[in-house]
Structure 1
């Protein structure tokens, strides 16, 4: 708990003076004002995060948190839990969806076992397991409050380690069979939305089983009665270890004043938890893409951040977030390399 408290206590607002200076420069660049849309807003945000007019991203990393969910006992997922173990290893080897995207962006892949049911023997997967998967939330709380906090701190520790190695931008990712179920449960509680309205197919769950998945989520919420005003209570009762660890990554990035890229549905739910713990963390978040998962739009609306891309992705793993590294480089480049009207000798009325 001490690491979490320390990290939250270090989070400060974005640098408004740096943002104002960046906005003034961007508005005077040799283009119509606002013509580069969200790229301009991102450029200003990065200046506010780093307190630099021309920030550099430094090294890049995709941090993938892998964990299993006991609620899979209820038949809410189409794949067996061993897939979490297999895919965590494959992600670490760079041969799943996120691998080529991260490689193209020049980003390091870091995979952490924060709570898989079956640990992998792949040495590339960092072992920081809290427990061998959560308990079945349809029968009892998914984990204890202490375990939820420890999982958050695993995320903080992992991010801090990468930042200490010179990483200046982090993308969040996850791997865990059943984690659209836990994400939907958390979102349902936090946003006050009926599970039947936001429950989707996840990793290709047959449509005829989606109602049963929603029923399981509703049952878990009614059984555990999580306190919407206490994000740690919600996380521990109906959340997942991967969600907790990603929330920790986001808090750590904000504390160290570097941008953190939010991936799709599950990452956005983790962002909700992080922002409920400390609202200032939202200023450091870069939302990447609009996930095609059913509850994703509601999650983004509740978080209050609009994703920059809409490519109908729903893979997870940090695959959409990894695409944002290149876009962030573009946002930095326009402010750094474009000239202003004044510098071009052009008078503008």
Structure 2
């Protein structure tokens, strides 16, 4: 384990097993609630309770800019990152609506936005103003990558101290599908032509350019044996690193994370490369439209709950899945057993 990271324990297998036994006594055919049964048992293991408590979700949105936008990889200008952070702070973005709907704590963190966000009611934790251009050089120094991980770790601690028992990370950063694709390629071994997608909606020429940029970034590292932190520094971004730290510290604190889309899945791959035990504390919410998202999820060993054709980011796909998780726990806790209801069980 990297020395600056906290140790991660395994979920409580005994509580999960007892929860599975309880599922088998509830008034329904065994397995008839599908993934909801398994989810309830996973939460039992995470919380160390046969009947887990209802969820208190916390959503943290990490924002940063990317030097690789100089290559023309995005359909939107870099200035949109700061403009959207202002929209988050004002409560006007999709994730703000969903957080209000679910009563979720929402925090916005500036990990490296290029624009000036002085005075906004957000967490100001800027490591630097945008990453470097990963096509030409390392996106971050090792010290900057470590500092960005710490930004996410601090955010996880704040959320858990405020009472969260489920963490959701969101992302905002124009151009961030390019570093995410590069990380997924490097950490999964998949080729850019099946990982790199259209992001915010680039045309065919823009897609071809993005693929060349990712190919060039990967070529810089060809033949080099790199530790996980070095891969993050070479190919990542500040908000991606912060999200990885968020997942890692959440797991170390015994709190699972609900992974959103393409960017957050790239961050989850980084987290797993740094500390493999984190994978036991992750749930995949959805599979997005972005081409390589499925590859990232397969590499993580995660099965998404839904597929809705989303590609917004912000943590929006994860937030949409919160009612499913709440239902899984409530069904597990509040359904009557066969004995309680006086219902005959299946004949042997």
Does the alignment reach a TM-score above 0.5? yes
Match of 1:76 in 2: 73
Deviation at 1:197, TM superposition (A): 1.8
Match of 1:325 in 2: 322
Alpha-carbon distance in structure 2 between the residues aligned to 1:15 and 1:226: 40
Match of 1:155 in 2: 152
Q: Measure how far apart 1:6 and its partner are.
A: 5.8
Note the 1:45-194 alignment, pairs <5 A: 45-57=42-54, 59-194=56-191
CA distance in 1, matches of 2:143, 2:258: 27
Instruction: Show CA shifts across 1:144-167 (max 9, x none).
Output: 111111101110001101211112
Pairwise CA distance, 1:219: 0.5
Q: 1:35 aligns with which of 14, 32, 36?
A: 32
Whole-Å Cα distance in 2 between the matches of residues 333 and 212 of structure 1?
A: 48
Alpha-carbon RMSD across the aligned residues, in angstroms, is 1.6
Matched, 1:260 2:257: yes
Aligned length: 346
Report the Cα distance in structure 1 between the residues aligned to 2:134 and 2:327, rounded to whole angstroms: 43
SS in 1 for 2:268: helix
Correspondence for 2:280:
283
Q: Deviations over 1:69-95 (max 9, x none)?
A: 101101111111110001012123221
Whether the 8 Å CA contact 1:117–1:133 is kept in 2: the answer is: yes
SS of residue paired to 1:174: strand
Alpha-carbon distance between aligned partners in 1 of 2:256 and 2:135, rounded to the nearest angstrom: 36
Change in Cα spacing, 1:198 to 1:51, as seen in structure 2 (3 Å) is: same
What is the correspondence of 1:281-320 to structure 2 with a 5 Å cutoff? Answer: 281-320=278-317
Q: Which moved more, 1:242-251 or 1:322-331?
A: 322-331
Query: CA contact under 8 A between 1:112 and 1:126: conserved in structure 2?
Result: yes
> TM-score w.r.t. structure 2 length?
0.96
CA contact (8 A) 1:78 1:204 kept: yes
Change (3 A) 1:303 1:58: closer
| CA shift in 2, pair 1:24/1:182, >3 Å | same
Which of 201, 216, 219 is equivalent to 1:219?
Answer: 216
Change (3 A) 1:207 1:284: same
Q: Where does the alignment leave 5 or more consecutive residues of structure 1 unmatched?
A: none
**Is 2:62–2:243's contact at 8 Å kept on the other side of the alignment?**
yes
Quote the offset at 1:279 in angstroms: 1.5
Q: Tell me, in whole angstroms, the C-alpha distance in 2 between the residues paired with 1:170 and 1:203.
A: 25
SS at match of 2:62: strand
Matched with 2:6 is 8
Q: Provide the rounded CA distance (Å) in 2 between the counterparts of 1:178 and 1:228.
A: 27
